[in-house]
Chain A
Amino acid sequence: MSDAAPAADQTARLQTRRLRLRRDGLGSRIGVALLLSLLCAAALIALAGHNPLEAFLAIVQGAVGSQHQIGASLNRTTPYLLSGAGVALCFRAGIINIGAEGQIAVGGAGAAAAALALAGAPSLVAIPLALVGGALAGSLWAGLAAAIHLGRGVHEVLVTLLLNFIALLLVQQLLAGPLGQPGAGFLQSSLMPRSAWLSHLAGFDVHAGILIAVVAAAALSFVLWWTRFGFALRVSGSSRLAAAYAGFSLARLTWGAMLTAGALAGLAGGIEVLGMHRRLIEGFSLGFGFKAVTVALLGAMEPLAVVPAALFVGLLESGSLAMQRQIGVPTALITVIEGLTMLFVLAATAARR
């Protein structure tokens, strides 16, 4: 490994990262945080003049009330799980990657371009290649952030944020130009060739994306806990100094974590395009970046624990439409719950010195 001991000024900069959790009673701390945010949500529902219990019941029924709704909930969960697991990996290493939104957008464009180019190929070729195209595009976008961050010392939060805005505009530009459907009137691509559609699993209203996402989360957990790279990531997340003295290359770790997270976010974008919309549409990734951060925090930055966290957010969102329709509580409540959950989890788990 190259840069063994960091220079003094770099050391000072390294110490500014403290995205660490208290390990003692972590599960119950997160549980309390979740409970508090739901209590606040209940108060807001009551403020609107509705019964909180009825509203929560409507969410549950809307999310898991029928086989179709369960499928819709799982489909919603998929992109949050994929991108959230990647964000969790970055957070573990103390890299605050909030670029999932842009990486998902670019990944969707990559997958759409690949699928359109592969029109006529059999599904067994078209789907994997299109998804790989999405993952590569997402990786590329995350790699751009890593290059600017490492090369020029710009904080990764700013780089990934600004690249999110640029990515959204880039996808719009692609839809206005080469990828767009001529004469559609909207910014959207042509329909994906049928052979590239991610079809529903036999007998369920859910596409294969959720399986890919769970396998990816498990694989990421394996990498984090059973490989040298994962160990180095965890060390650098706990103490950048210790990682540097142990001879781990911080630059290489950052590249690894960012490219992996970018690939997962890009994959999420590809799955949205091939499985949900079946075309690339403008702004399909809006808000996904923050949800990825929410589920990463709620899942205690542990890829496997991100599975229930993403499921929670997916169910909440999927059921919120029923809540709005039946009870009259606006779906914006879900965004409030997500914001509150992040805040309470942060407060409840912040490491003390």
Chain B
Amino acid sequence: MIEFLAAAIRIATPLALAALGGILSERAGVFAVGLEGMMLAGAFAAAIGAWATSEPIAGLLLAPLGGGVIGLAVAIVAVRFRADNMVTGLAVNVLALGLTSYLMRILASGGRPVSMRLPLLTALPIPALSDLPVIGPLLFAQPPLTYLTALGCLLMTLFLNRTQAGLTLRATGENPEAVFASGGHPARVRMLAVIACGAVAGLGGAVLTLQQVGTFTDGMTGGRGYMALAALIVGRWTPWGAAAACLVFGAAEAFELRLQSFGVPVSSYVVQMAPYLIALTVLAGLGQSSKLPAAIGQPLPSTR
């Protein structure tokens, strides 16, 4: 049981970080379809940093940069040029996939990707708390990015609900004209929000390379960005809600791993569908959402 919960938390962590980034983007009014590419670029940048210096910390510092570059591309095309958010997100996902694969190969200069064995971020047990029975090893002996995810949920909630900047960000997603009328700059807010989304989602990708897999492989995010997108919608655009949804998806995947290891005669392909089916079912069950930021996906009127 402990192992199962630990697996659920492990699988949920990258998703939850990416979803936190996505909340910034969507609450500011830009659909976060590009999460997949932002995660992938972050995972790549983290791998490069850790590989070049043999220090996982360097990877940790580079990851937001990688994701942020993809965020910048979305910000320019979707906000500045007012292109369709969704398709722009898809485009950067394709770009990130191609660019990371390409760079991995030219680093090795032989047509094959450079092989990396990265030093992993190790678990940081919190003194006293990690000695508690059951929940100690489960919650308080995690690697750093997992703590960061939990802290991120708290900080994001405070930021959105308790700060002036958070209010402006939410207003930009609901009614950009009002932000403009009160002297704000909706386009600037959206661009910053999307770039910040990329940086946070990039950290989500870094969880994969620095905390779990220890190397970078082509397209290693494998749809996690899309699952994060589904999670933030299921979680009603709130940090804790999204994190809870990620835990549910993580539990579904962990359950699938358990079934396989016990040799239960259920086809693995059907079981692997579980997270996607759950996401689809929950989305369909929630139905049309009134919570969707009102001005999401709508280009800003030109203000000159």
On whether the beta carbons of A336 and B86 are closer than 8 Å, the reply is no
Q: How far is the CA of A162 from the CA of B224 in the complex (A)?
A: 11
Q: Counting CB contacts under 8 A, is A129 at the interface?
A: no
Digit string of B97-121 for contact with A (CB within 8 Å is 1, else 0)? 1110110011001110000000000
User: In the assembled complex, which residues on chain A have CB atoms less than 8 Å from the CB atom of B229?
Assistant: 158
On whether the beta carbons of B284 and A148 are closer than 8 Å, the reply is: yes
Q: Known: A165-B223, A333-B98, A346-B87. Is A152-B277 also a contact (CB below 8 A)?
A: no
Q: Is B182 an interface residue (CB 8 A)?
A: no
B294: contacting residue among A12, A98, A152, A293, CB under 8 A:
A12
Contacts of B6 in A (CB 8 A): none
The reply to whether the CB of B90 lies closer than 8 angstroms to some CB of chain A is yes
Docked complex Cα distance between A161 and B233 (Å): 14
Interface-forming stretch among B148-156, B206-214, B285-293?
B285-293
- B301 located at the interface, meaning its Cβ lies under 8 Å from any Cβ of chain A in the complex: yes
Please tell me if A154 contacts chain B, counting CB pairs below 8 Å.
yes
Question: What does the 1/0 interface line of B257-300 toward A look like (CB < 8 Å)?
Answer: 00000000001011011001101100111011110101011110
From A148, A163, A330, A346, contact of B77 by CB (8 A): A346
Shortest Cβ distance from A156 into B: residue: B86
A172 within 8 A of B: yes
**8 Å CB interface, B56-100 against A:** 73, 76-77, 81-84, 86-88, 90-99
Q: Does residue B226 face the partner (Cβ distance < 8 Å to A)?
A: yes
User: B106 — which chain A residues lie within 8 A by C-beta?
Assistant: 47-49, 330
**Nearest Cβ in chain B — how far from A206, in angstroms?**
27
CB closest residue in chain B, given A144: B280
* B83, B233, B272, B276: the one within 8 Å of A347 (CB): B83
How far is the CB of B34 from the nearest CB of chain A, in Å? 11
Least CB distance from B180 to A in Å reads 14
Neighbouring B residues of A151 by C-beta, 8 Å: 284
State whether B86 touches A154 (Cβ < 8 A).
no
Residues of B within 8 A of A336 (CB): 95, 98-99, 102
Contact assessment for A346 and B84 in the assembled complex, using a CB-CB cutoff below 8 Å: yes
Which chain A positions have C-beta within 8 A of B233?
158
Question: Pick the contact of B84 from A9, A18, A333 — CB < 8 Å?
Answer: A18
Give the docked Cα–Cα distance between A153 and B276 (Å).
17
Contact A148–B267 (Cβ < 8 Å): no
In Å, the complex CA distance between A334 and B99 comes to 10
Task: Decide yes or no whether A44 CB sits under 8 A from chain B.
Answer: yes
Closest 8 pairs between A and B when the two form their complex, measured CB to CB: A153-B288, A335-B98, A339-B95, A342-B91, A332-B101, A336-B98, A339-B94, A346-B83
B residues with CB within 8 A of A: 31, 33, 73, 76-77, 81-84, 86-88, 90-99, 101-102, 105-106, 109-111, 218, 223, 226, 229-230, 233, 267, 269-270, 272-273, 276-277, 279-280, 283-285, 287-290, 292, 294, 296-299, 301-302
Beyond the given A173-B270, A330-B105, please list 13 additional residue pairs across the A-B interface where CB-CB is below 8 A: A49-B106, A154-B284, A165-B273, A173-B267, A290-B94, A328-B111, A335-B94, A335-B102, A336-B99, A338-B98, A339-B92, A350-B82, A350-B83
